[in-house]
Structure 1
């Protein structure tokens, strides 16, 4: 494995700007890494044929003295939920197999304009429906810490690519935790921005009132750098905020070198009992809080009585919106078309196409959502779920009147084994118990590595939530705690991954 693949994005960007390395060298190193390990990890669904050519162009522009962005020349992985003109966009589904979009998603277009080099499209649960990346139509992704375990979902491909040093940066999407929960189980950093802070234009919709695009990285600073590139108002997205945002990279730098924890009020939810969490997850969470408290933070118990209904409300709102959003896959306009033998009506072709093109989890949620929206049931189910959503938003407002951030474990357990929960949808859904409330309320959230669980030596994360539009606060707090923890570990958490250490030793990397 080349040393270049072990550099964080900020360090690689500095080396590129200084002329110590070329974008072509960095890109080829990551493509070689993908060739070497992705047969086992399966983080990518498609690897770009144009990456080296893009890198060559960046090198030419830099040599000509053109002023380039801070991340110019740095490779980037892209979750397959984001459409691209030069690579297939399938959203992990057979119904879109081979689909080529006529336009780029806004975050992809902004990444290209900033000089990032797209490496390829990453694997995901079909239409982002899942918590493990086992529901991809193209096979599961595996966790680089233990290849028998899940990398989280739905964005397990992006998290695994970053954790396995196949890419220094990745784009993900988070509807109920699909950036933060994979970060938790892979030892990476994941950020769900404030709803509307990053454009959803060109993100294949699952639940439009919940979806949010965000960064997947190895450090908080890297996440801030990527967030600065993709964030900001987009007139193509009617839900895009018109705010002027501060630099999130600067916020991360302030957190890493400043005394931001002193006097910080950190809320801990009293209704979130330890009994529902793996012992090692709870222990790591408490140790992180203790480290913050030692630096002057104040740990405050808060009440959020309606959070316990978040999963139930989410799994009515999401399927309802999904059943509407996925109606466009009708065999007529684009995507797969299956014609029954002997000729058929449009309705019969549509039914045959959806039967062949949609997986079991997608069908399950479409049926649930259609039922929840049907006459006679709308008020009892969808309407009631939206009322719970309002109560959760009020819980956040009350909490943030008393504290600066809320802290929770990013997920209840470490990575479970592939196949362990695939036949138990309820247990799978409960993996998002701590992340879902942020999507229901639209508040920003970040997950950073907090250590290894005692019982299985697998990574766990701590999540911080902040008020709407206070994303910069998360970067300051996350970077401050990250600096404390990395110092206590003697280096990045990913350096302790057994599979990665073994590969490093085999390849002779110091």
Structure 2
């Protein structure tokens, strides 16, 4: 038995846990037991966990035996991880937040889950989400509403809100979420953890709902340290031969081609282009820009004309409603209204986008891609807000932000451009609101240049005044 107590274990990052296990300072069984106990103690308040994997402790014992036998160990050997409940897990319930899929148990793992397992990770549990992964709060008819561990009266966001809450509260060191418009980066911002939405197609979506249409969907790692994001991304990236979007080779990185003989150049922007931004959030972005400047990065304010011409959220709505409305109709066909929650009913009732509006939106999406491409001719990365406000109270459907009243979808204003364009984006905490809530910033890279934003994030992490803060539950 090691000298570590449970509270020490559950707030170690995955990289450190793997090191402790590999050097026999702690056993996989102790690590798993500590997280199971944490779930039992904390989850009744947070409601982040949907299902605990029945074989988690058994698999931890097998991992411990492998350590003791001197076997070759993977980089995550013995480390627990969790996955959003839209991601298939063999032999473990995957119910997608809907009574329509109540009791569904997949036969195979999603590619992302299989890759973490191959690296030695152990599936601990599945985490809560909105119905079908659609909304900015994690609430559904099957498992109810998740709460933010920083303030239980507030949301941990959506759609990967349960995953974010579990990691922030020490119930999991590492997890998988999905991102259509906000859903990995927004919940990370609302709970003060880190997350990465890589370039579209870098990580296969195989085994994740919905299968189609998926041109804006991503799956990505969520964690408490930048090095964990980098490690997880290195394990997750690369084609699997099943997802046609996943065609980039695992080891290709456009960021590696930058000249080492000049400083990195980062452009920062808050408004206009993303909708209104709260002054506290804007100040946090500026503070992060100043921190990068102090660490040898060339930083300058920028504007992207395409964002100001074509509001990305409006573009996305016109495109995605046209594409997803038939899929919702197909999935929910034959089921009564009693089986449907807010977003399924909303999606079924939305008017279809006209062909003219759809074509106009496609042209706007092209302008957005070109606008970012032009910006990346001068800058290696961008620094922006993630969300316009810190975590909001449950059930809010309008907000007053910087003197302007907007509906709840505006939370996606700074995140959805990266789904339309496919650009990589990283969410990390760099500030705290006057109410004690986390404020994250977003680092945006050029296509396939994840190494650049991971490097910049590590610089910010090293000087951050809010690193290693945990909610008091």
State the TM-score, normalizing by the size of structure 2. 0.91
Offset at 1:84?
1.4
C-alpha contact (below 8 Å) 2:270/2:384 kept by paired residues: no
Q: 1:269-284 counterparts in 2 under 5 A?
A: 269=269, 271-272=271-272, 276-284=276-284
Task: Name the counterpart of 2:194.
Answer: 189
- When structure 1 is superposed on structure 2, of 182-191 and 223-232 the one drifting more is 223-232
Query: Is contact 1:262–1:296 with CA below 8 Å preserved after alignment?
Result: no
- Picking from 383, 386, 403, the partner of 2:379 is 403
Q: Partners of 1:278 and 1:399 in 2: how far apart?
A: 25
Tell me the alpha carbon deviations over residues 294-348 of structure 1, each in whole angstroms, 9 at most, x when there is no partner.
2222222333223251001111222222223334425xxxxxxxxxxxxxxxxxx
**Shift in alpha-carbon separation, 1:76–1:136, aligned structure 2, 3 A:** farther
Paired position in structure 2 for 1:255: none
What is the distance in 2 between the residues matched to 1:264 and 1:209?
A: 30
The equivalent residue for 2:347 is 365
Q: Deviations over 1:232-270 (max 9, x none)?
A: 11101111123232699xx9xxxxxxxx99822111237
Does the 8 Å CA contact 2:270/2:277 hold for their aligned counterparts? no
SS at match of 1:146: coil
Separation of aligned partners in 1, 2:286 and 2:268: 10
The answer to whether the aligner puts 1:493 opposite 2:473 as a matched pair is no
Partner of 2:228: 222
Cα distance 1:56–1:247, how it changes in 2: closer, same or farther (>3 A)? farther
| Aligned mate of 1:322, from 324, 336, 360 | 324
The structure-2 alpha-carbon separation of the partners of 1:271 and 1:285, relative to structure 1 and needing over 3 Å to count, comes to: closer
Name the residue aligned to 2:449: 470
After TM superposition, the structure 1 = structure 2 runs for residues 82-481 of structure 1, keeping only pairs within 5 Å, are 82-135=87-140, 137-205=142-210, 207-245=213-251, 263-269=263-269, 271-272=271-272, 276-308=276-308, 309-329=311-331, 350-351=333-334, 353-368=335-350, 371-372=352-353, 377-379=354-356, 381-421=357-397, 427-453=407-433, 455-481=434-460
For the structure 1 residues 270 and 13, does the alpha-carbon distance in structure 2 shift closer, same or farther, using more than 3 Å as the test? closer
Q: Partners of 2:262 and 2:287 in 1: how far apart?
A: 17
Q: Verify the 8 A CA contact 2:11 2:170 in the aligned structure 1.
A: yes
How big is the alpha-carbon RMSD for the aligned residues of Structure 1 and Structure 2? 2.5
In structure 1, distance between residues paired with 2:213 and 2:398: 22
Query: 5+ residue gaps in structure 2?
Result: 1-5
Quick one: structure 1 residues 96 and 452, their matched pair in 2 at CA, closer, same or farther if it must change by over 3 Å? Answer: same
Measure, in 1, the Cα distance between the counterparts of 2:80 and 2:276: 39
Q: Distance in 1 between matches of 2:141 and 2:390?
A: 21
Q: Contact between 1:271 and 1:304, CA under 8 Å: does it hold in 2?
A: no
Query: Tell me, what secondary structure is at the counterpart of 2:446?
Result: coil
Q: How far, CA to CA, are the matches of 1:426 and 1:105 in structure 2?
A: 37
Deviation at 1:493, TM superposition (A): 3.1
For residues 98 and 317 of structure 1, the distance between their equivalents in structure 2, rounded to whole angstroms, comes to: 32
Quote the Cα distance in structure 1 between the aligned partners of 2:34 and 2:146.
22
Are the counterparts in 2 of residues 274 and 282 from structure 1 also a CA contact under 8 Å? Answer: no
CA offset at residue 397 of structure 1?
0.5
Q: Does residue 1:7 correspond to 2:12, yes or no? A: yes
> Secondary structure, in 3 states, of the residue corresponding to 2:246?
coil
Greater helix share, structure number: 1
Partner of 2:42: 37
Give the paired residue count.
458
SS in 1 for 2:435: coil
Aligned residues of 1:261 and 1:477 also touching (Cα < 8 A) = no
Whole-Å separation in 2 of the counterparts to 1:231 and 1:79: 18
Task: Find the aligned partners of 1:396 and 1:274 in 2 and give their Cα distance.
Answer: 14
* CA-to-aligned-CA distance 1:468-488 (integer Å, 9 cap, x gap): 110111111111111111xx4
Given the superposition, is the C-alpha separation of residues 270 and 162 from structure 1 closer, same or farther in structure 2, using an over 3 Å criterion? closer
Residues 220 and 482, structure 1, Cα contact 8 Å, conserved in 2: yes
Please say if residues 268 and 301 of structure 1, whose CA atoms lie closer than 8 Å, have aligned partners that are also in contact. yes
Deviations 1:423-482 (A, max 9, x none): 9996221001000000100110001111102x2121010101111110111111111111
Cα–Cα, structure 1 residues 136 and 464, in superposed 2: closer, same or farther, change >3 Å? farther
Shift of 1:51: 0.2
The alpha-carbon distance between structure 1 residues 133 and 262, as it changes in their structure 2 partners (threshold 3 A), is farther
Q: Helix, strand or coil: the match of 2:149?
A: coil
User: For structure 1, which segment, 95-104 or 76-85, has the greater mean C-alpha deviation from structure 2 after superposition?
Assistant: 95-104
Q: Deviations over 1:194-245 (max 9, x none)?
A: 1110010001017411000000000100111111222211101111123232
Matches of 1:128 and 1:391, distance apart in 2: 28
Q: Does structure 1 residue 17 correspond to structure 2 residue 22? A: yes
